[in-house]
A = this chain, B = another copy of it.
Amino acid sequence: MSAKPTPLSGFPELLPAARVVEREVVASLSRTFELHGFTNIETRVVEPLDRLAKGGEIDKEIYVLRRLQAGDEDGDSGLGLHFDLTVPFARYVLEHAGHLEFPFRRFQIQPAWRGERPQEGRYRQFTQADVDIVGRDVLPFHHDVEVMRVMVDALDALPIPPVSFQFNNRKLIQGFYRGLGLPDVTVAIRTIDKLDKLPAGTVAELLVSDAGATPEQAQRCLELATIRVADTSFVDRVRALGVDDPLLDEGLAELAAVVEGCAAGGHEHVTVEANLRIARGLDYYTGTVVEIFMAGYERLKSVGGGGRYDALASDGRSTYPGVGVSFGVSRTLIPLLADGVVAGSRPVPSAVLVAVTDEETRPASTAVADALRRRGIPCEVAASAQKFGKQIRYAERRGIPFVWFPGDPAGPGGDQVKDIRSGEQVAADPAAWSPPEEDLRPQVVVSNEEKKQ
């Protein structure tokens, strides 16, 4: 350990003031999830490789674990780091089903790992916040509305730029395509999903060449995909396209219920839309789907997403349908911190630095600190008995707003506390004085520019 270490690409690490922001975001998400009755779990970070590789196919860059000492032959543990929180959650539900009550409502905020090439918003270690409801064999649709609304509430409470929830419904798309008479609905969905990257004309050609659509069918698919509204008026617009199918009806009703349920409640930083081009590539979604975007950070693509899956897991006797949504904590915060959009107000929890007159009276300073702590005021005692001016600068460098000067027990002067920002200094009793509420703990500071948005 003799040279300065270099950062590891894709493994971002936060300095203390930035970590203040991350902790407050995690605490805020947890508060909202718990207000809605979701219980927290944490899963181990490893899963057997065959569970990470669903159906034998592995399309993620998984990190596999090998024990260093075990020698080559049996060092491979057969374990890999999880690449999301859905696979471990599904396994947790199956493994512990006998001890859980269904519907099981849980949230989980943990890191996950992918051996991908690092880029902005894509890291090799990243923290996600997932909230899901899982039923045994059945899970009524109203839980779709419920779980999406929880995430809307949760993100509305965060100190981040406005986000947009863009909903669609797989039944709607599938019913529309089926009613339209498309021969290969699955390929059509995958093709429409490319509208982000390809011009509409190219997508129409691909629908004809790959999904077997007629040019007229391709046109209607594009018309469906361009519908994007912030209310339930999409229902009439889809109806106007003249396609009939019972699955389409079901999808329209579900999407309308999700949009209405999430738009209610007067959120300040969240907008809710039906966006009929949202498909989400993953095959296991079967109803509601959502992607979440952040204003000014569209380049990150979605900062979250999720949906309904009719078979999150199955153990042969029971099937576990689920609905959930995931928020990318690292993907969102690391660019915001880098851009200075959010910051921690100070890198230490201390609201007060208790000065030390000389080493002999350090116990008196410690006694002041203990008295403040008993009343919940975070503080620290100066590291050395330098001149008071130096101790004040020690506090300044750490962003500690107050410096406490213990009185001379032998003399007439009592304790004093100084607000080092204003310079104001007043007599104070460690058993009674408190800092203003906003100084008690480090705060998340949102840049003014952002507030104006």
Contact = CB atoms under 8 A, between A and B. Distances in A.
A94 B381 contact: no
Q: Is the interface of A mostly helix, strand, loop or mixed?
A: mixed
A49 B69 CA distance: 12
A95 B44 contact: no
Interface residues of A, number: 96
Interface in A1-32: 1-8, 11-16, 19, 22-23
B70 A115 contact: yes
Contact of A37 (B2, B43, B348): B348
Interface string A369-397: 11001001111110110000000000001
Contact of A63 (B13, B67, B95, B380): B67
B66 A66 contact: yes
B95 A7 contact: yes
A94 B4 contact: yes
Interface in A55-69: 58, 61-69
A140 interface: yes
Given A38-B349, A348-B39, A373-B36, A143 B383 contact: yes
Given A1-B90, A16-B39, A34 B349 contact: yes
A77 B62 CA distance: 12
B68 A58 contact: yes
A44 B397 contact: no
Given A105-B380, A115-B70, A94 B1 contact: yes
A242 interface: no
A62 B54 contact: no
A131 interface: no
A45 to B, nearest CB: 7
A446 interface: no
Q: How many copies does the complex hold?
A: 2
Contacts of A1: 51, 54, 90-91, 94, 313-315
Interface string A115-134: 10000000001000000000
Contact of A384 (B15, B69, B140): B140
A46 B8 contact: yes
A40 interface: yes
Contacts of A347: 39, 101
Contacts of A381: 146
Contacts of A38: 349
A99 B15 contact: yes
Contact of A61 (B68, B80, B313, B441): B68
Contacts of A359: 142
Nearest to A4: B315
A37 B378 contact: yes
A65 B115 CA distance: 10
Contacts of A43: 13
A348 B64 contact: no
A362 interface: yes
A303 B95 CA distance: 29
Nearest to A317: B4
A15 B187 CA distance: 41
A297 interface: no
A349 B131 CA distance: 14
Contacts of A212: none
A95 B398 contact: no
Given A2-B315, A42-B14, A67 B61 contact: yes
Of A12, A106, A265, A383, most buried by chain B (CB within 10 Å of CB) is A383
Nearest to A347: B39
B13 A92 contact: yes
A315 B3 contact: yes
A260 to B, nearest CB: 10
A423 interface: no
Interface of A: 1-8, 11-16, 19, 22-23, 34-46, 48-49, 51, 54, 58, 61-70, 75, 77, 79-81, 90-92, 94-97, 99-101, 103, 105-106, 111, 113, 115, 125, 140, 142-143, 146, 265, 313-316, 347-350, 359, 362, 369-370, 373, 376-381, 383-384, 397-398, 441
8 contacts: A5-B48, A11-B44, A16-B40, A19-B41, A37-B348, A49-B68, A64-B75, A68-B115
